[in-house]
Amino acid sequence: MLVIFDCDGVLVDSEPLSNTCFARALQREGLDWSVEETMRRLMGRSMKSCVEIVEGILGRKLPGDFVERLQVETLQIFRDAPLKPVAGVVAAIEAIEAEGVATCVASSGGFDKMEVSLGVTGLGPRFEGRIFSASQVRRGKPFPDLFLKAAIEMNEQPFDCVVVEDSVPGVQAARSAGMRVLGYVGAPYADRDAMGAAGAFLFGDMTQLPALVQG
């Protein structure tokens, strides 16, 4: 068995910080979205997909340095906040691994972002050599490519994988990959109805996770 963790919002409590930066960047480009609206429309998607969505709404290309500037601002706020692990997730990982279950990370975020977010929270060494990014595949979430890559690299079959997600695109990607999905809805911004409709089994406390993984 393999447990595949999303990063933002599942391992690290980064979604409010990330989307605050994203909303500010979009407002500078004339798209007046609140943090909540930014999360609803973009959370869980690869940066490439987010840019395509925003450019479609604006009807023009974003500046060439938009993504780079956004990343610099986001990583700085991660360091300054400082970013913390999601409550209870460290103990949950330890309990899962104690049962001999393999774990890895598969995120829409790039490696630079995960290096900082997992580093600041102390989670990086735990997943060393087992971190996968949407930048490695042609299509990000909601397509299954990233989760399938993680399964292949970890030498596991999709039907023997459990994905822990907090976004609708992530749930859709895992279900398309033929994997069981546990949808974390412990955060106040979680879209419970949409995640459930997409096929996730919902849970609100990371202390529940080890038992849920075992089915």
pLDDT of 181-191, one tens digit each? Answer: 999 999 988 99
> Which CATH superfamily is 2-13+83-213 part of?
HAD superfamily/HAD-like (3.40.50.1000)
Identify the band that residue 98 occupies on the pLDDT scale cut at 50, 70 and 90.
very high
Q: Report which secondary-structure segment, H or E, holds 131.
A: strand 131-133
User: Looking at this protein, which amino acid is placed at residue 60?
Assistant: R
The second-level CATH assignment, the architecture, of 15-80 is: Orthogonal Bundle (1.10)
* Contact in structure between 181 and 175 (CB atoms under 8 Å): yes
Main-chain dihedrals φ then ψ at residue 66, nearest 5 degrees: -60, -50
Dist CA 143 CA 186 (whole Å): 24
The pLDDT value recorded for residue 215 is: 84
Dist CA 185 CA 171 (whole Å): 12
When pLDDT is averaged across residues 79-90 and rounded to a whole number, the result is 94
Q: Spell out the domain ranges in the chain.
A: 2-13+83-213, 15-80
Half-sphere exposure of 142 (CA within 13 A, CB side): 14
